[in-house]
């Protein structure tokens, strides 16, 4: 797997490789911003995971997921704070996102 110096470098490369959609977390799924599709944990795969520490604060960490869904023919990215999930996020979704770490 390729390594990146910065989050923006990784996102740009993934977009060039076809991961053009933006995903956001909801309580029990991820949501595709561009087309409004909700993906349940069984409807997507995590293809790559990349972690980044903040330049000035090592505690400021982000995680980038490269996600694909064969069912919906989607490939995109999800950026989230590493290790920090909303209290309302389902255990199933957290387990899916933690699975490949």
- Evaluate whether residue 85 is within a structural domain: yes
Instruction: Give the DSSP letter string of the chain.
Output: ----SSHHHHHHHHHHTT--EEEEE-SSSEEETTT--EE-GGG-EEEEEEEEE-SS-TT-EEEEEEEEETTTTEEEEEEEETT---TTS-HHHHHHHHHT-
- Evaluate whether residue 1 is within a structural domain: no
- Evaluate whether residue 37 is within a structural domain: yes
**Domains of the chain: total:** 1
What is the model's pLDDT at position 86?
A: 41
What is the model's pLDDT at position 87?
A: 47
Please tell me the total number of residues recorded for the chain in this structure: 101
Instruction: Tell me what the pLDDT averaged over the chain comes to.
Output: 84
* pLDDT of 81 above 50: yes
Domain range for 34 is 7-99
Top pLDDT among 79 and 99 is at 79
DSSP bridge pairs for 76: 21, 67
pTM: predicted TM-score of the whole model, two decimal places: 0.82
- Evaluate whether residue 2 is within a structural domain: no
State the pairing for strand pair 30-32/21-25.
Answer: antiparallel
pLDDT, tens only, 28-64: 899 998 999 999 999 999 999 998 876 655 556 788 9
């Amino acid at each position: 797997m390729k390594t990146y110096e910065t989050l923006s470098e990784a996102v740009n490369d993934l977009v060039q490789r076809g991961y053009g959609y933006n995903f956001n977390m909801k309580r029990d799924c991820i949501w595709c911003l561009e087309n409004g599709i909700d993906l349940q944990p069984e409807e997507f795969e995590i293809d790559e995971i990349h972690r980044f520490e903040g330049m000035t604060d090592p505690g400021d960490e982000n995680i980038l997921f490269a996600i694909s869904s064969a069912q919906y023919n989607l490939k995109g990215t999800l950026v989230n704070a590493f290790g920090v999930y909303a209290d309302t996020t389902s255990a199933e979704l957290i387990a899916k996102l933690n699975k490949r770490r």
